[in-house]
Amino acid sequence: MQQPQQPQQDDEDGGRSVASHTLGGLSSYAASVAATTDDGDSDARSIASAASGATSRRRRHQPKEAAYFAAKILLACERQAGRDLRLLCQGLPDEMAAAAAASEPADTDDGGTAPALRELLALLDSVRAAQQRFLSSLEQRLRAWEAASAAVAAALANGQAPPPTADDQRRLGDLLLEHLPDLLPPMRAYAQALPGRFLQAVDPVAFSDNGIVRRFESSRACHLPLACLLLGPARRPARLAGLCERLLAAAAGPTDAADCRAALRQLADAAEAVRPACDRAEQLCGLVELRRDLPSGLEGVLDDDRGGDVEGMDSARLIRIGWLRKPGSRRGGGGRLLCLLSDRLLILGRPSSACSASIFSASASAASASVASAAASATSTPTGGRGVAAGSSSSLLRLRTKIPLRGLRATEAPGGGGSGDRQCQLSLQVAADSAEAASASAPPPAIVLAARNRRQRDLWLRDLQAAAADAPPMASAPAPAAKATAAAAAAAGESALTSEQLQQQRALLPTRVCWHRCASVGFADIVRSHSCDLSGHLLRKLTSAPGWQRLWVAFSHLALFFYKSYRDEAPMATLPLIGYRVGPPDPSDQELVQGKSHVFKLQWKHHRYFFRADSEYTYNCWLETLSDAILPLAAEPEATRAPLRDRAD
């Protein structure tokens, strides 16, 4: 049996396992475009040239105001939100109906998966109906704005006086105020109901081979796990508030600015009202996805949260996930994945036996073959190639140590002030006189681990020390009931039956990306990223072709999703961004970017991707959004960013 690749062996391995695999479909699509052009098909080139000319003329006549580009960003984000709502409100009920027609046991199980989903979907139907009405009005306003601008440009080109333009065609604040009374109540109702129904909706039994969730997540259009998709509508007030801030900053006049300010106050109040429920649902999502990957170590977690009230949920919380290394081990062989919860620290590592490889890298060779096959068939447009595949149920990452946080001391390792690796080491030790020490699974007296750099070490020390100071007793597993045993068996068997679509989805989760990229991410970083969602058209520079490829790009869940058009059902490629840097191109990149303006670069080690926006405003928005999400000032206190309500005033 072929040994899995070491994720941290060298720069090339990590790039192939995450970056190249996820963009394999995009690269082969580019190859098909290049192959079609090189065949000498003059008709195809003429059609493409005509379409390009029409697009260029339309862009020359489009408005140039910052308010217009802010409105375009709002429209793009609403289209992406509409896509996710359509997937939940249409695709999920179809799978539930198919499962019910087949009389599958997962749907009649008393765990309540189907009833909980139906209750959430009933609330989502109201959210979607209001969102569609708002989206329709927004599209009409933008079309009128563009038509008025084109009429003015045409008149000036013919030496005529420009026609008068109605003021309301260049405003969006009034449109927001008109639709917010329709938008906000269903969003509030859904967000408040989500934590209490979340665990039933994603019950482990539903992950079995015939379960509702398994069927839905295996569909081609489902680009994220169901738990992640359910969070999106709950976070919409905060996302709309961020977009409304952009509209306020670019308002066309005092009247529009006053309307935007009033709308921002309403959105900020709604976002603050649902924030506790959203944060709890986010925690549940992280713990559920972690439990799907780990065969053990989370005993007692989530067992008392079913149907609970948000204020009364005091179970374990996810704090930080990331990669550390065991010093002194051979290169690439001492990697550890740490999962810090509020009551325990889980230390996971690669299983020692050759037949029990890591779930996060067991199929790297298979994924490489898939990408190579896609590149070979350049005449077909791929729809997959979006992630690192997962392994079988026997290939789960093994739990090495589970340490209760009560009595844990986290300090810099002795000799940590030296050079090289020692500067980044930390030491973990359970106090010998601690009552919790006996409950640990025989941890060594002290565990020494090394981070990639001092900053990562300091973040781990900060979070470990703060969590240990406030740690409750570690929850123990309740007596196993028949229902719980069946749920555990279904969850354990889910990865053995994982389809390619599920493998691609789960490759985007922070645990997988952190393992491959030797990175770490905190829960606060994940929450911050959800207020940084952005969508729109971008041009991507292809290293294998001289031109730029126009794509619809959506940034969500710390990853970029690439579509040919916003009307596409499924992304053709994705790129997880944990560990990436974003910024303008370096002087050495000028030959690649061909002297174009409004270009930004994403880079992780030697993997580089260039994207070009259609305006300086859009460029600044993408650069700011990606910087806030993937380059957070994690060492800063969370209170440094003013609440939305304060910014509205």
Q: What confidence tens digit (pLDDT) does each residue in 305-325 have?
A: 444 444 434 567 899 999 998
The tens digit of pLDDT for each residue in 586-633 reads 888 888 888 899 999 999 888 889 999 999 999 999 999 999 888 763
- Give the DSSP letter string of 593-635: HTT-SSEEEEEETTEEEEEE-SSHHHHHHHHHHHHHHHS--TT
Using a 10 angstrom Cβ sphere, with 0-12 exposed, 13-18 middle and 19 or more buried, the burial of residue 632 is middle
Q: With beta carbons less than 8 A apart as the criterion, state whether 180 and 263 touch.
A: yes
Residue 7 has pLDDT above 80, yes or no: no
Average pLDDT in the 243-271 region?
94
Q: How confident is the model at residue 166 (pLDDT cuts 50, 70, 90)?
A: low
Q: How confident is the model at residue 430 (pLDDT cuts 50, 70, 90)?
A: confident
Q: What is the set of domains in the chain, with CATH numbers? A: 11-54+528-648 (2.30.29.30), 62-293 (1.20.900.10), 310-361+387-516 (2.30.29.30)
Output 267 or 480, whichever has higher pLDDT. 267
Output 272 or 58, whichever has higher pLDDT. 272
Average pLDDT in the 41-45 region?
41
Residue 482: the pLDDT is 42
Q: Which of the residue ranges 44-48, 258-262, 451-455, 494-498 would you say has the lowest mean pLDDT?
A: 44-48
Average pLDDT in the 385-405 region?
57
Using a 10 angstrom Cβ sphere, with 0-12 exposed, 13-18 middle and 19 or more buried, the burial of residue 369 is exposed
Q: With beta carbons less than 8 A apart as the criterion, state whether 203 and 487 touch.
A: yes
Q: How confident is the model at residue 500 (pLDDT cuts 50, 70, 90)?
A: low
Q: Please give the structure tokens belonging to residue 609.
A: 């991707």
Residue 12 has pLDDT above 60, yes or no: no
Average pLDDT in the 83-94 region?
93
Strands 607-612 and 599-604 turn out to be antiparallel
Q: How confident is the model at residue 428 (pLDDT cuts 50, 70, 90)?
A: confident
Q: How confident is the model at residue 208 (pLDDT cuts 50, 70, 90)?
A: low
Q: Which of the residue ranges 2-16, 161-175, 283-297 would you say has the lowest mean pLDDT?
A: 2-16
Q: How confident is the model at residue 112 (pLDDT cuts 50, 70, 90)?
A: low
Q: How confident is the model at residue 34 (pLDDT cuts 50, 70, 90)?
A: very low
* Number of residues that make up the chain: 649
Give residues with Cβ within 8 angstroms of 555, minimum separation 6.
Answer: 532, 533, 534, 535, 561, 577, 625, 626, 629
d(CA 605, CA 353): 31
Residue 123 has pLDDT above 50, yes or no: yes
Residue 393: the pLDDT is 33
Residue 644: the pLDDT is 43
Residue 140: the pLDDT is 94
Residue 331: the pLDDT is 57
The tens digit of pLDDT for each residue in 232-242 reads 999 999 999 99
Average pLDDT in the 246-275 region?
94
Terminal CA-to-CA distance of the chain, rounded, Å? 63
Q: Which of the residue ranges 195-204, 394-403, 544-553, 637-646 would you say has the lowest mean pLDDT?
A: 637-646
Q: With beta carbons less than 8 A apart as the criterion, state whether 222 and 215 touch.
A: no
Name residue 61's amino acid. H
d(CA 329, CA 327): 6
Residue 89 has pLDDT above 50, yes or no: yes
Q: Please give the structure tokens belonging to residue 409.
A: 């001391």
Residue 28: the pLDDT is 42
Q: With beta carbons less than 8 A apart as the criterion, state whether 324 and 518 touch.
A: no
d(CA 386, CA 18): 9
d(CA 542, CA 544): 5
Q: With beta carbons less than 8 A apart as the criterion, state whether 107 and 113 touch.
A: yes
The tens digit of pLDDT for each residue in 319-359 reads 999 999 888 766 555 789 999 999 899 998 876 543 333 44
